[in-house]
Amino acid sequence: MLQMSGVRKTYSTGVVEVEALRGINLDVDAGEYLAIMGPSGSGKSTLMHIIGCLDVPTAGTYLLDGTDVSSMSERQLAEVRNKKIGFVFQQFNLLASLTAIRNVELPLVYAGVPAAERRERAMAALEKVGLAQRVQHRPGELSGGQQQRVSVARALVTDPALILADEPTGALDSHSTAEILELFGELNESGRTIVVITHEAEVGQRAKHLVHIYDGLLRESVPVATAGAAR
Phi, psi of 80, rounded to the nearest 5 degrees: -60, -45
> Can residue 65 be called a binding residue for another protein (CB under 8 A)?
no
The residue from 78, 123, 171, 217 that contacts another protein (CB under 8 A) is 78
SS3 84: helix
What's the CA angle centered on 100, arms 65 and 197, to 5 degrees? Answer: 40
d(CA 44, CA 212): 9
> Can residue 97 be called a binding residue for another protein (CB under 8 A)?
yes
DSSP string, 153-168: HHHHTT--SEEEEEST
The residue from 121, 154, 192, 206 that contacts another protein (CB under 8 A) is 154
Smaller CB separation from another protein, 57 or 107: 107
Q: Using DSSP, how many helices (H) and how many strands (E) does the chain show? A: 7, 10
**Residue span binding another protein (CB under 8 A) among the ranges 60-68, 101-109, 200-208, 221-229:** 101-109
**Residue span binding another protein (CB under 8 A) among the ranges 48-56, 130-138, 184-192, 213-221:** 48-56
Question: In the complex, which residues of this chain contact another protein (CB under 8 A)?
Answer: 49, 52, 54-55, 74-75, 78-79, 81-83, 87, 89, 93, 95, 97-98, 106-107, 109-112, 154, 158
